[in-house]
Structure 1
Amino acid sequence: MTDDAYLFLADGSVTHLGAPLALVGDLECLETPAVRGWLDAHGVTPASTALRLLPPEETGSIPEEAEKLPVPLSEEELIRLRHALAPGALARVEDELLAYRDCAGERDALLHRAVAAGVPPHRIVQLTGEEPETVASVAARAAGR
Structure 2
Amino acid sequence: MTDDAYLFLVDEPTETPGVPPSAVGALACMETPAVRAWLNAQHASEASPRLRLAPPEHTGAIPEEAERLPVPLTDEELSRLRHRTAPEALAEVEAELLAYRDCAHGRDEMLARALAAGLPPHRVAELTGEDMAVVRAAARR
CA–CA distance in structure 2, aligned partners of residues 39 and 21 of structure 1: 13
* Structure 2: runs of 5 or more not aligned: 106-141
CA–CA distance in structure 1, aligned partners of residues 15 and 46 of structure 2: 15
Alignment of 1:12-91 (within 5 A): 12=12, 15-91=15-91
Residue 108 (structure 2) aligns with? none
* Structure 1: runs of 5 or more not aligned: 104-145
CA–CA distance in structure 1, aligned partners of residues 13 and 73 of structure 2: 26
1:15 touches 1:50 (CA, 8 Å); kept in 2? no
CA–CA distance in structure 1, aligned partners of residues 15 and 49 of structure 2: 8
Q: Which has the larger radius of gyration?
A: 2
2:19 touches 2:84 (CA, 8 Å); kept in 1? yes
Deviation at 1:92, TM superposition (A): 1.6
**Secondary structure of 1:52's match?**
strand
Q: Structure 1, residues 111-136: CA drift from partner, whole Å, max 9, x if none?
A: xxxxxxxxxxxxxxxxxxxxxxxxxx
Deviation at 1:91, TM superposition (A): 1.2
Residue 97 (structure 2) aligns with? 97
Q: Structure 1, residues 49-96: CA drift from partner, whole Å, max 9, x if none?
A: 100000001101111111000000011101111122224332120123
The number of equivalent residue pairs is: 103
Scaled by the length of structure 2, what TM-score is found? 0.65
Letter in 2 for 1:4: D
Scaled by the length of structure 1, what TM-score is found? 0.64
Name the Cα RMSD after superposition: 2.1
Identity of aligned residues (%): 61
Deviation at 1:14, TM superposition (A): 5.9
Deviation at 1:22, TM superposition (A): 1.8
**Secondary structure of 1:19's match?**
coil
